[in-house]
Structure formats: C-alpha cells, structure tokens
Structure 1
C-alpha cells in the first residue's frame, strides 16, 4: 500500500495542485469505501434481514460502514448487545482453551512492533502529512523526500497474534521446567487487509500457540481440530453448518506441513472462522536467531526444538456466524388468526447477551417501579444480564414487546403488574417456547441461574 501511495504522489507532483490531490490520496489511504446497503424490506434475503435486526436490536451501530464491516468479519462499532455477545464469545473461547489443558498460559503482546524489514504497514501521521502539504517553501523533490520519510514503516501493525507468542516463548521456558507440551493463549486485535487493497482494518482474534514434540505434532493437530470443532458446534442451533476441512498442499502457508480450517456455511458460501496449522520449527528458530540451545525443551530424555501448532480464530466473523445460525423465521397466527412471520434470534443461552427483560403493565405506579428496580439490581448482583424494559415510557402492546425481545434474542420476558404486589407472582415468557407461566418473585433469580448453568452442559 505504501509503494502504491508513493507512485500516486509522484504523479500528483507533476502539477502545483499537489496539495489538493495528495489530500485525496490520504483520504483513500485512511478511509474505507463501502457499497452494500441494507433494505429492511428484503425479507426474502436472510442476510439482509439479519443485518437489519443487528441494527434494530442494538448489536451494531447504525451506519453503512459498520454494517459492511460486520458482514465482512471485521471490527465495527458495536452496540450494547453486540459488545455483550462478543464478550460472552471471547469468554467461552478462553475458558475452553484454558480448561482443556493445564499447560495453557495466557499472555498479552503489543499491537505494534519495530519494523526492521521496511515492508510493514506504517502508522500514518495524517496531521504531519497535512503540515508538509501546506509547506509552500518545499519544491517537488523535497516534498517527495519528506513524504517518503513519513511513510517509512519504522513501526508496524501486527497482522496476527502468532509472532508475539513466538517472541515470548523463551521467557516462559522456566515456568514449565523446559518440558513439552505447553501453550500460550491470547486475544486481541489484528490488522487485516480489506479486499486486497492494502488498506488495513481491525479484527478481533483469539490465538493458541501450542509447543509440542516433533514426533507428536501431527497427533496434536488432530487433537486440537477435534476439540475446536466440538466447541464451535456446542453453541450452534444447526451444528452441521460448522465443519472442518484440510487445507490443500498448494494453499499451505510458508513453513506449514499441514493445515485445517473450521468453516461456517453462509448462504453465499463457506467462510473460515478458525485456522489450525502445523508449522514445524522454522518460524520459532527464525524468531530466536537460529540459536537452538536457547529454545530447546525436554521431550522425555531428549533435548529438542519444539514444533508449533497454531490456532487462530476470527471472533468478529464468528459473531456473524452464530447470529446467522440462530436466526429463525417461524409462521404464527395472531389473536385474530392472521398468519404472520415471527423472527427469533435463538442464540445459545450461554451466548445470549440479554437473559431477561423486565416490563411493567401500563400506568405503572411508583411502587411497581420500585419493585422492578429492586429485581433488576438482584439480577445484576447475581451476574445475570437484564434489559430494563421498564424504562420505556412508550405504550406498546404485549405482542409488540415480545416481538422486539425475540428479535433481540432475549431469553425470558418478565412482566410485573398489580398482581405481583398482591400475590408476589409475575409472568415469565420463554423466547424459545413462547409459553407463559407464573413464578414467585423470590424464585426467579434462582430459576434463571439454574437455567443458565444447565445450558453450559447442553
């Protein structure tokens, strides 16, 4: 991208209108162009429908840029429910990797590093570039030289989380008494190319780098593939839409002997959610200057340079996959026996960003509001995410509220009314069954906790 910028800048410098043209170049370098649009009426297209639900249901911030980034599996501006879903997904990924083996340790690495190759992606100082373009005393040659210096990538943005783990490897050898196997896990931002244009956008990744004996690396790749596919399917409404496939030899990354992709079948085709690579020892040796003695570990009685198994998961694309997988379009009759289509975001109970929404009947009294606020606080204290529907002052029918919460993926809706004050009973409606039942207000927190715990074992 930087070399492309310099070619364009040289062309612009042929005229003294360079300031205007270079500023256009900066805009192209720093801004993304998006073409797709969301039409809320395109009910025949489940993807368009889902993206509209994402905006209406507070998952993704309004604006075409954010919608397009989310659809492409990149970071965007998430709304309250989107952030909660992402947090739940990352938490479950982390727990699954950490609990699967006792020898997995968490680390954190920087998103930037010193770039000695001169081929990295520079962090562009737009303010400084504008100052150069405004400097009338600079001639064409001087301006090109200054811009070249500014664009020289002395600092680069990471494009994966693997390198940080390889660099930290030797620091933690004493922690494991130089014994294999062990792994380093991390979650964080990585900067990916958008449409091959050279522009970089953020994506949230989860990474496991597993160091193992050379003689067992193939078995470890099979082991992690099996475990990871089970994990992806655990939270799916339609597990068969998640699958794994071997990477053909002509598509293997440099230094990798084998590769596996875990993919999701979107309506437009399969997209990769997670890559698993058997990388050998080449990259580890290269990272540590080829000094074998520094990085050797014990494999039984032998000293060996470990082989590397890497697992990298795109968590933004994973959110899109799970939401697509959970969207159901159901036919239902209303009170007048009129057939209509019911949209339900049936996210797994563990991933669902909101477990319960609290509402009150019309004309709520101060006493009802106090009861509602007290119950909300009880949910928060128990770690149950709750939606304060009671703060909505617009008068909506019960059916409209249920439709809204179903599209948001809320597990349960609870209604507090005058009957609650008299008998302590409130109405509980399930998203998945639409059945309503009455429970005592003293029992609902325990009921929700028990339901969520049971969902973990599903």
Structure 2
C-alpha cells in the first residue's frame, strides 16, 4: 500500500510556487571520489563502509547515511547500531538516576492529543481521488485535504508526546516523588521542507521530570553525562563536544538548549540535543489539570521537563569516522607498510572474533568452529583464497578485534594462534583459555 505525506501538498497550495531545491541532500563537499573532489576523504570513507558491509551499496543509500538518517545497513552496520542502542539503553536506565523504559505507539491523528510532532500520511488512491475532483475550488480542496489529514495515521517526529502522556500513569512507580525519567527509542521521521519526503531516523529519547527550581542544574547534569558517554567509546574523544544552542534557535516552549556535536571532516553535526522545556507542554497534554500533575521534591509543584533526543544513525557514522586510522610502519626489510584499521571500541565492534580454519580442513578441524568457546563471536569466517596478510588487512578494516587461526596441530595440542587488531601481536593460547580471555578483554574495556 502506497502512502504520501500530504503536508507538502498543503504547503504547495497555500504558497506561491518556488524553484525546486534539494535542501535535504548533503552539501557537494560531502561527496566525490577522486582526490581532487574529495579533499576530506569522505568518498573513500564511504566506500570503505560499503566494502566492509556497514552500509549497503548504492549512491542513494550512501547519501542517506551521510545525511545522518536511516539507510539500508549492511550486516555489520546493523550490528553496530544494535550495540550502540544497547549501550545507550544501559546508560540511561541502569544509571543512578531513576529512569523507566516505555513503549508508545503511533495513532490516528484524530485520537492523538496535542498533535505534537506528527506527520499525516494517506493512501495514494485517496489523495489522487480528492485532487481529481475538478469541481472543488482551491479553498474547498484545502478544507478536504485538512479533513483527510485529521483522519490519517500519524508518523511521529519524536517521542516526547508519548512520554508526556505516560507521565501520570508512571507516578505510582515513584510515589509522586521527583526526579525521574522515561526513556524510549525507535524509528521517527524527520519532516521535509517540501522538496523531499520525510526521512526515517533511529531516535533515542529521555524525558526527565524534575522540580522547577532544579531544572537548570539537571540540564547541565545530563549534558555532562551524555558527553561523557559519547567520549567513552571514542578513539579521539576531543572530536565530541557540547555547545549551547543560540537564543535565536530555541524551540517554542524552551528556555535553554545544549547540543552534543561531532566534528566530521566537513563540519560539526549534532548527535544529541537537550532542551529545558518548562511545564507548558505537560499542562497542555493533560488539559491543564494541576492537581493530578503535582509531585513532591521538598514541596509540591508541577514538574519541569528536560528532554534529551539523540540521532543514532548519525552516531553510527560518527563512531565509524572517529575509529578509522591510517597507520604506517616499516617491516624487517625497511619497507613502508600502510594499513587502515577501524578501531571501534570493543563493546561496539560488530565482529569480536574471526576464525580461520585453513584451507582443505578436515571434518574434525571444522567442528572446532561450533564449540561453545566461540560464543562471544558474532561471526565466524573461513579463509578465502588469499594470503594471511591480506586476510588480516580485511579484518582490520572490518574492525574485527581478534583473528584466531586453527591449524592441524590444534587437534593434538589444543593450541591456537590469536592476533590482536590493535597491536598486530600474535599470541599462542590454549583453546580452553580463549573464551575467558575475550570476555575479560571486552569487560575491561567496558569498565574504563
């Protein structure tokens, strides 16, 4: 079933025609493949993401990824985004702050309260049938379109409205005591400017309810916590920073804002935005009934809301960009060697272990790969017709933490050769040690 966003149709009818633009496309400096057209190496970086299965091939698809919206991810990109979302969820729901997870649904626009952050979609057949009614005047057509929008299913642009609606049902969990938060993540849609359709974004959301006298301190607290979280997984933490939102860019009903940004080669882009929203939207959602909204934090009051909204699609791109290193070293014959290494943080790396069992391996040797000691491996790979050096170079570009080589001697001695991505050092370990070794390594990195 096809559907169309009808906001752009209404805008077209209500305003004079204008020249077409492509405002949602990335600037031309983001693209290019030759060294002259690609001064920042963005084209080469994107090609690496495609070659190593983080992003699926296709010019349109890679443009979506560069814009910081959802694209067709490759298998490793799907796993990286899943790991990132899992770490985000742990950071907000298992922190010292009291945060509960919620799950809200998109609804029809006529049942939604407030109408905040919603895009209406209708079936293409209904829209075509309405537009083909030539007997309608322009004003009548606009009225019919507005009715159609009101009956349509909504696509949300953020999770805040759902959190505001869940505020009252959640009060029993905290005995009406402040502060506490409600967290959610999933797909949302970024509104278009009329030149293109809405773009899907993997969004994270935290709505933090606190007393009016502490809202400013809580905004600072969460800004510090979120910046610390992004830097925890970074190879170059200084590329992540926080900036205050200028007064002219403040949203309606907000008094302050902070952005967590990443310095891409082409400029800074926001990863998360924090707003001090007051209580206006909370009162509007619950029809201004103060009595059922009042909570305790030393005194009774209607809480203020601090919202934290993140874009995890852009976060995936930020960590891929941040972790890519181009290393040089000399071998024993003083030959300069160059290698690309995707030094993703161990807890984010999609592939923990690549298992090479050699060519022409017998059945007993192949059974090693199914043993439970490799349960920490996301994927087990076999050797392709290439040299070990080329295979390790491929694993480095994929961000694989360790490459384990199983040989004929393994069946007799139980010994494996383990190569580290970050040091390139090869160690010999017994097969019984591998699981604990990998688990300790990843846990230690997570606890830094």
TM-score (norm 1): 0.85
Residue 2 of structure 1: which of 6, 10, 17 is its match?
A: 6
In the alignment, the residues of structure 1 paired with residue 312 and residue 54 of structure 2 have an alpha-carbon distance, to the nearest angstrom, of 15
User: How far is the alpha carbon of 1:43 from its aligned partner?
Assistant: 8.0
- Decide whether aligned partners of structure 1 residues 414 and 131 sit closer, same or farther in structure 2, where only a CA change above 3 A counts: farther
Residue 248 of structure 2: which of 240, 247, 250 is its match?
A: 250
Give the corresponding residue for 1:84.
79
Q: In the alignment, does 2:356 pair up with 1:359? A: yes
In the alignment, the residues of structure 2 paired with residue 366 and residue 344 of structure 1 have an alpha-carbon distance, to the nearest angstrom, of 33
User: How far is the alpha carbon of 1:308 from its aligned partner?
Assistant: 0.6
Residue 347 of structure 1: which of 327, 344, 347 is its match?
A: 344
On the 8 A contact 2:328/2:339 being kept in 1, the answer is yes
On the 8 A contact 1:40/1:52 being kept in 2, the answer is no
Greater mean deviation of Cα atoms: 329-338 or 58-67: 329-338
CA deviations 1:12-38 (Å, max 9, x no partner) are xxxxxxxxxxxxxxxx9xxx9888766
In the alignment, the residues of structure 1 paired with residue 148 and residue 330 of structure 2 have an alpha-carbon distance, to the nearest angstrom, of 62
Residue 213 of structure 1: which of 204, 211, 214 is its match?
A: 211
On the 8 A contact 2:109/2:120 being kept in 1, the answer is no
Q: What root-mean-square deviation, in Å, do the aligned CA atoms of Structure 1 and Structure 2 show?
A: 2.9
On the 8 A contact 1:111/1:190 being kept in 2, the answer is no
Q: In the alignment, does 2:86 pair up with 1:96? A: no
Residue 425 of structure 2: which of 417, 435, 449 is its match?
A: 435
User: How far is the alpha carbon of 1:411 from its aligned partner?
Assistant: 0.3
- Decide whether aligned partners of structure 1 residues 71 and 128 sit closer, same or farther in structure 2, where only a CA change above 3 A counts: same
User: How far is the alpha carbon of 1:218 from its aligned partner?
Assistant: 1.0
User: How far is the alpha carbon of 1:149 from its aligned partner?
Assistant: 7.0
CA deviations 1:430-454 (Å, max 9, x no partner) are 0000111111111111100010110
- Decide whether aligned partners of structure 1 residues 316 and 106 sit closer, same or farther in structure 2, where only a CA change above 3 A counts: same
CA deviations 1:195-223 (Å, max 9, x no partner) are 66362111011111111111111111111
User: How far is the alpha carbon of 1:129 from its aligned partner?
Assistant: 4.7
1:292 alignment partner, SS class: coil
1:271 alignment partner, SS class: strand
CA deviations 1:44-100 (Å, max 9, x no partner) are 643222211111111111112221111111011112111111111111111111122
CA deviations 1:95-136 (Å, max 9, x no partner) are 111122352111011134425788952213125556778xxx
Give the corresponding residue for 1:68.
63
Aligned 1:37-436 pairs, distance under 5 A = 39=33, 45-115=40-110, 120-129=118-127, 140-141=134-135, 145=141, 148=145, 152-154=149-151, 155-194=153-192, 197=195, 199-300=197-298, 302-333=299-330, 337-374=334-371, 377-380=372-375, 384-390=376-382, 394-436=384-426
- Decide whether aligned partners of structure 1 residues 183 and 4 sit closer, same or farther in structure 2, where only a CA change above 3 A counts: closer
User: How far is the alpha carbon of 1:356 from its aligned partner?
Assistant: 0.5
In the alignment, the residues of structure 2 paired with residue 336 and residue 43 of structure 1 have an alpha-carbon distance, to the nearest angstrom, of 33
Give the corresponding residue for 1:22.
none
- Decide whether aligned partners of structure 1 residues 44 and 359 sit closer, same or farther in structure 2, where only a CA change above 3 A counts: farther
| Number of residue pairs matched by the alignment | 427
User: How far is the alpha carbon of 1:231 from its aligned partner?
Assistant: 0.8
Higher helix share: 1
- Decide whether aligned partners of structure 1 residues 340 and 143 sit closer, same or farther in structure 2, where only a CA change above 3 A counts: farther
Q: In the alignment, does 2:444 pair up with 1:448? A: no
On the 8 A contact 1:38/1:51 being kept in 2, the answer is no
In the alignment, the residues of structure 1 paired with residue 399 and residue 13 of structure 2 have an alpha-carbon distance, to the nearest angstrom, of 50
2:122 alignment partner, SS class: coil
On the 8 A contact 2:186/2:203 being kept in 1, the answer is yes
Give the corresponding residue for 1:24.
none
In the alignment, the residues of structure 1 paired with residue 223 and residue 100 of structure 2 have an alpha-carbon distance, to the nearest angstrom, of 19
1:395 alignment partner, SS class: coil
TM-score (norm 2): 0.87
- Decide whether aligned partners of structure 1 residues 266 and 280 sit closer, same or farther in structure 2, where only a CA change above 3 A counts: same
Gapped runs of 5+ residues in structure 1?
Answer: 11-27
